[in-house]
Amino acid sequence: MSSKDCGNHGHKKRRERIRRCCAGLLIFNFILLVTILIIWAILQPSKPRFILQDVTVYNFNNTVPNVFSSSFQVTISSRNPNEKLGIYYDKLDVYATYRAQQITFSTLIPPTYQGHKDVNIWSPFIYGTNVPIAPYNSIALGQDQAAGTVLLLIKIDGRVRWKIGTFITGKYHLYVRCPAFITLGAKTTGIVVGENAVKYQLVQRCKVSV
């Protein structure tokens, strides 16, 4: 056998070993993925449950046409209903909207981990100063104020990950929508809690999408 034949034979052996290693890695990854999917299907993770407990209004000013200023403190609770799954909240932005238009800046809730059956409570401040709003929304807001009831949506947009044992999933989008009925004037159901501050006890269940 020539030296050239020996060299080719050695290259073939190396290629064969590389092929076997790659095939082994592919099979291992496939088995791992199938195992994770089976565990995921058996556990059937449930979405976290959010409740808007109360809203305290510090400022609610629509006196300037097409401009709105507001300041709120909202109390929101989140419950993990899963018995064997934990939840990482990597990013949660809280803000308020009126008729599909954002009227406050976003407030970031610090990242946190929620264990099995745990409950987390957050009380962020959200506000907007001289926020431009659409003329038709400005008119509608004035009409709602005159009628004594304004419907706002407290929204949370963020990212979550699920923890199953030592395995942590990738990030998923989290969307939370909490209706907040603010009553004004003679119809108000709020409680005065300080100078120019009115607190509304709502205990309103929120819509959650993941």
119 plus 200 within the same structural domain: yes
Domain of residue 17 covers: 8-44
Q: Are 168 and 66 in contact (CB under 8 A)?
A: no
Residue type, 12: K
Same domain (yes/no): 153, 195? yes
Q: Please report whether residue 3 resides in a domain.
A: no
Residues 56 and 134 in one domain: yes
pLDDT grade for 36, boundaries at 50, 70 and 90: low
Considering the domain architecture, whether residues 120 and 36 belong to the same structural domain is answered as no
Start-end of H helices in 98-148: 135-147
Residue 77 in tokens: 């609770």
Distance CA 53, CA 16 (A): 64
25 with 58, same domain: the answer is no
Among 12-26, 50-64, 160-174, the range of highest mean pLDDT: 50-64
Question: Which pTM does this prediction carry?
Answer: 0.80
- In this structure, are 83 and 25 located in the same domain? no
Answer yes or no: do 79 and 128 share one domain. Answer: yes
Encode pLDDT of 168-187 as tens digits.
888 999 999 999 999 988 77
Please name the residue that has the structure tokens 């089976």: 38
Give tens-digit pLDDT for 135-149.
999 999 999 999 999
Residues 76 and 53 in one domain: yes
- Model pLDDT, residue 9: 56
Kindly state the average pLDDT of the residues 156-173.
92
Same domain, 180 and 193: yes
Q: Is 67 a member of any domain?
A: yes
54, 63, 75 from 203: Cα distances, Å: 6, 30, 9
